[in-house]
Copies of this chain bind each other. A is one copy, B any other.
Amino acid sequence: MSINETSRAYGAQKSSIREIAAYAGARKAEIGSENVFDFSLGNPSVPAPDAVRASIERALALPATQLHGYTPANGLPAVREAVAASLTRRFGDGAASAGDLYLTCGAAASLSITFHAVVNPGDEVIVIAPYFPEYRVWIETSGATCVEVLADPATFQVDVASVAAAITPRTKAVVINSPNNPVGSVYSRDNLAALADALREAEKSLGTAIYLVADEPYREITYGAEVPWVPSVYDRTIVCYSYSKSLSLPGERIGWVLVPPTNPDHDDLILAVAGAGRKLGFVCAPALFQRVLMDCVDCPSDVEAYAKNRRALTEGLSALGYEFIEPEGAFYLWVKALEPDAEKFFERAKALELLPVPSDSFGCPGWVRVGYCVSYETIVNSMPAWEKLAASYR
């Protein structure tokens, strides 16, 4: 074989999340979708706000050559201004201006581009396990080693001492994802401040620069917790965002990278982000959905639907004696498996038509992720199966 073996392997290796989702689809066809409780995917169950549709209809009145033409590589200036204005309203003067933003084809592109902007071959990038498994793919593709550091096993906040211990002279970045997929935790201001202190101390003692990559697609999906603005806590932050969850547009691929003006390497990073996008073949973010942001950047997410699901799921599982991390954001419940081997627990759940994702997929043993971005009925109707599953361990 003379083609690229790594690419072939990544194509052949199905993500376990996608595999479970595919099984769920097949099983639904077999026994009826009402009899399969598919908690595997993170596809928003809430529709995009009506304002998105209205915005698309409005845009269609523009001359087609203008509407569908190439935009600048970093996005239409008016769109970046609208996003920056929104960030400034929410996070204070100086949070962002249009020149600090680079619009992308969604969060995956934001992260891939960010890693390619900062990483040199042989560098290390720290991720907090459990973590979204594609992080490893993009980190390794950029030429770095992916270093897993377990979150605090009691709270699933960042275990700052463990991060500090994992830092080496080759550490180029730490990735955090809060609100967190797969746990649903939100990192507190104190936790982030402690992390920032540790990073600054390491930078000082090693004479290096360490970037904090804040992956925040779930920022708007919260249940009361504060989601601190990371650039206000740590200067060398790069924020990666997507509208996949907040506007329920995962298939349209629209998001951004922000290099905050307070980042001391701002000007070089802006160039490196643009250059990384160019290197990878991202010409511009999809033009029509860039324009949608101008109208919808401040649309509230329909968190109430997820909050209702969350309540039903946590109350139901709690009554059945399951242990879990109380989710403060995103739409995942992190449930302790009833035996040490999460895969075995999953197999027993699967036999009852319950389909969460075992935690091993996220770099952490002993739990399952239950995605509650599903219909309310799915949650309610799944309870007898959860009960049988618990009973089978008694």
Contact code string A270-312 (vs B, CB < 8 Å = 1, else 0): 1111111011111111111110000000000000000000000
Min CB gap A131→B, angstroms: 16
A350 within 8 A of B: no
A65 close to B53 (CB less than 8 A) = no
B208 close to A4 (CB less than 8 A) = no
So how many copies of this chain end up in the complex? 2
Roughly how many angstroms separate A251 CA and B253 CA in the complex, as a whole number?
A: 13
Roughly how many angstroms separate A6 CA and B279 CA in the complex, as a whole number?
A: 9
Min CB gap A167→B, angstroms: 14
Closest B-chain residue to A113, C-beta based?
B281
Known contacts: A2-B120, A60-B57, A253-B286. The answer to whether A138 contacts B279 by CB under 8 A is: yes
Contacts of A248 on B, CB cut-off 8 Å? 64-65, 68
Name A136-185 residues within 8 Å CB distance of B: 137-138, 141, 172
Known contacts: A43-B70, A65-B248, A288-B252. The answer to whether A7 contacts B109 by CB under 8 A is: no
Roughly how many angstroms separate A250 CA and B7 CA in the complex, as a whole number?
A: 27
Contact code string A47-63 (vs B, CB < 8 Å = 1, else 0): 11000110011001001
Roughly how many angstroms separate A134 CA and B44 CA in the complex, as a whole number?
A: 36
Binds B, one of A9-17, A224-232, A332-340: A9-17
A271 close to B12 (CB less than 8 A) = yes
> Interface size on A (CB < 8 Å)?
82
A1 close to B108 (CB less than 8 A) = no
Neighbour of A106 across the interface among B11, B109, B283, CB < 8 A: B283
Neighbour of A3 across the interface among B12, B41, B46, B268, CB < 8 A: B268
Roughly how many angstroms separate A286 CA and B68 CA in the complex, as a whole number?
A: 13
A94 within 8 A of B: no
Contacts of A271 on B, CB cut-off 8 Å? 7-8, 11-12
Contacts of A251 on B, CB cut-off 8 Å? 67-71, 284, 286-288, 290
A278 close to B10 (CB less than 8 A) = yes
Contacts of A9 on B, CB cut-off 8 Å? 275
Roughly how many angstroms separate A8 CA and B56 CA in the complex, as a whole number?
A: 35
B10 close to A275 (CB less than 8 A) = yes
